[in-house]
Structure 1
Amino acid sequence: MTVALVTGAGGAIGRAIALRLAEAGYDLALVDLDETAGADTARLVEAAGRSALFIRADVTVANQVEHFVAEAETRLGPIAAFANNAGIEGTIAPIHLFPDEIFDRVQSVNVRGVFLGLKHVLARMIPRGAGAVVNTGSTSSIRGRAGLAAYVASKHAVLGLTRVAALEAEGTKVRVNAVLPGPIESRMIRSLDEIARSRGSQVQRAGSARYGRPEDVAVAVAFLLSDSAVHINGAALTVDAASTVP
């Protein structure tokens, strides 16, 4: 069997990625802190005809990350594809008013969580000389957004980690890329919209008049994880309907 690991698998984008990879023939190890949402994704993967293993875990805790990577390989087999997708949005506030504890929590999930996922998955992929990783960044990885200091800082860091990991994996036949979604219809964007509306503003966007779909991101992730992208390493693929075009 060919095995993929997806973190943040209970969210809209994580679920869409999992189902797209199931369609592509992967069996799935699925990780989320939300047990109900993660288990629901596992049931949908199984309904699509693939094996699914759900593991409840916190991606910010090193021994939990080490455990779910080991458990996935013990139960399903070597991880061939890793969608390093878990992330949170935080809140909207100017830097001089931004709550310290929320800033720290966003960095913990979005940066430390991505780092730990890379650390423990690459420790297995690189010695085998096979595997592909896609980190979920954001168009906030390459632009600023007023009021989103924690999120923007964290997503810039995700892109930096992607580039470092790609260089470190070069020559091993392991690839590390990033996908950079613009606003996608999901719980996260609805939460940010609600916060913005409550403060008499709106989440900034440009380009497309509509939000993207989780499936739009899933298609890009599945491509970057596939053998069709064998010569793509260290790339950042925007999925944003031209919102970041100058």
Structure 2
Amino acid sequence: MEKIFENKVAIVTGGSFGIGQATALAFARRGAKVVVADWIEDNEQATLRQIKAEGGEALFVKCDVSNAGDITDMIDKTFSAYGRLDFAFNNAGIEGVSALTHECTQDNWERTLAINLTGIWLCMKHELPHMLKQGKGVIVNCASIAGLIGFPGLPAYVASKHAVVGLTKTAALENAKLGVRINAVCPGVIRTSMVDRITGKDKVAEQQFISMEPVGRMGEPAEVAEAVVWLCSDAASFVTGHAMPVDGGWTAS
């Protein structure tokens, strides 16, 4: 694989599992040094071990993205280790507790928005000054097809992801002439632990999701990762402020 990101540095939040893990690996395979950030420290360090086994370079930073102190610590450790920041995939998020709008608890609402929305804002707040100082950088935020359409029973999650799309567009316009591009990916039903929690790994529930996918299957984390690294590449140099569905055609149907 061509090392198009050699001598570049990428941060991936929520990088221990799922889409984040796949994206950290995709960055590393293209030559980037990767900071894997997650509030759960994978005991087996699977992401780091795989990156290093393939000859890449990475470090792990424990980080709760809803905590501003953790974000500044993540940025400080990135610069202490690598001296720069070129790419950020702000991916960390939770689905929250399923409930109808009038039954959603305030605790669930506040926790879901704190991680899914405030977390992305905090990441950009502390990533952007360094990228602007360099005069170049790319940020990709992880939204969802739930940021483009509604889903009954997930009011906090849907609200947070719609807000991520709006925040992404605003930040993209603010920085469009300053060398920093900002986009979002909007994954559909991707085979991750989050989907497993929603379906309970029940085959009937899984099939219901699959039946709504025009391509007839769930997506894989690596397929979202490929969209992220493309958005970060020079091939996407004229793309900013875009919320890209990676959803097998779900939102087109």
TM-score of the superposed pair, with normalisation by structure 1: 0.94
Give unpaired runs (5+ residues) of structure 1: none
Q: Residue type matched to 1:235 in 2?
A: H
Alignment of 1:208 onto 2:215: yes
Q: Deviations over 1:149-171 (max 9, x none)?
A: 11110100110110011011111
Q: Report matched runs for 1:60-209 at 5 Å.
A: 60-194=66-200, 205-209=212-216
Partner SS state of residue 36, structure 1: coil
- Distance in 1 of aligned mates of 2:126 and 2:45: 23
The match for 1:49 is: 55
Query: Which segment drifts farther, 28-37 or 211-220?
Result: 28-37
Alpha-carbon shift at residue 193 of structure 1 (Å) = 1.2
The match for 2:242 is: 235
Alpha-carbon shift at residue 8 of structure 1 (Å) = 0.2
- Distance in 1 of aligned mates of 2:248 and 2:63: 33
TM-score of the superposed pair, with normalisation by structure 2: 0.92
> Contact (CA 8 Å) 1:16, 1:218: kept in 2 or not?
yes
- Distance in 1 of aligned mates of 2:38 and 2:70: 11
Match of 1:217 among 220, 224, 231: 224
Give unpaired runs (5+ residues) of structure 2: 1-6
Change (3 A) 1:123 1:82: same
Q: How many residues align?
A: 245
Partner SS state of residue 221, structure 1: helix
- Distance in 2 of aligned mates of 1:196 and 1:118: 37
Q: Deviations over 1:180-231 (max 9, x none)?
A: 100100000111112999x9xx669442321100001000000001111111
Q: Deviations over 1:85-140 (max 9, x none)?
A: 10001122111111221111110000010000010000110122110010011011
- Distance in 1 of aligned mates of 2:108 and 2:43: 23
> Contact (CA 8 Å) 1:38, 1:54: kept in 2 or not?
no
Change (3 A) 1:239 1:31: same
Q: Residue type matched to 1:213 in 2?
A: E
- Distance in 1 of aligned mates of 2:113 and 2:47: 26
The match for 2:252 is: 245
- Distance in 2 of aligned mates of 1:139 and 1:77: 35
Alpha-carbon shift at residue 36 of structure 1 (Å) = 1.5
- Distance in 1 of aligned mates of 2:248 and 2:201: 24
Alignment of 1:7 onto 2:10: no
Query: Which segment drifts farther, 96-105 or 23-32?
Result: 96-105
Q: Residue type matched to 2:83 in 1?
A: G
Query: Which segment drifts farther, 93-102 or 3-12?
Result: 93-102
| Identical amino acids, percent of aligned pairs | 38
- Distance in 1 of aligned mates of 2:174 and 2:53: 38
The match for 1:31 is: 37
- Distance in 2 of aligned mates of 1:241 and 1:80: 29
